[in-house]
Amino acid sequence: MSQNSVKIEVSGDARGVERDLVESEDGRYEAGVTSKKFEDGSNLVYEGSLIQKDIFSGETVQFTLQFKSGVAAGIIANYLYDRLKDYDVQLRISNREIEVEKESIQSTLDEFEE
């Protein structure tokens, strides 16, 4: 089973979203280090946050998702949806904006499976 890598961005009213998506034992979120590891070996890695200077843009939080083909896309789609559904954010997977809905997330992740 091969490993796929996809860029994910959450933007808008995203302050604190990294705390809901990745795990930090000491409360620090280090780009490229802090991550959420899934039982199947998939990994959601925090890549950093960009805070816009104007009040309308909000924050953009960036992640890299490394996942294996197969059932992982469904598990990860549920995970992302459950943690993002209460935020007022836009979700981009591989530079494509998608709805924060389980089906939209899963169908987009399915496209990256070999």
Bridge partner list, 66: 5, 43
* Confidence at residue 4, expressed as pLDDT on a 0 to 100 scale: 82
68, pLDDT greater than 90: no
Task: Give me the mean pLDDT over the 6-35 stretch.
Answer: 90
pLDDT, greater one: 12 or 52: 12
pLDDT, greater one: 70 or 110: 110
Task: Give me the mean pLDDT over the 22-46 stretch.
Answer: 90
Model pLDDT for residues 69-93, shown as the tens digit of each residue: 666 788 899 999 999 999 999 999 9
100, pLDDT greater than 90: yes
Written as one letter, the residue type at 97 is: E
C-alpha distances in Å from residue 104, one per residue of 48, 94, 96, 111: 24, 13, 11, 11
CATH for 73: 3.30.70
Range of the domain at 88: 3-110
The radius of gyration of the chain from alpha carbons, rounded to an integer in Å, stands at 13
Task: Give me the mean pLDDT over the 22-36 stretch.
Answer: 90
Say how many domains are in the chain. 1
53, pLDDT greater than 70: no
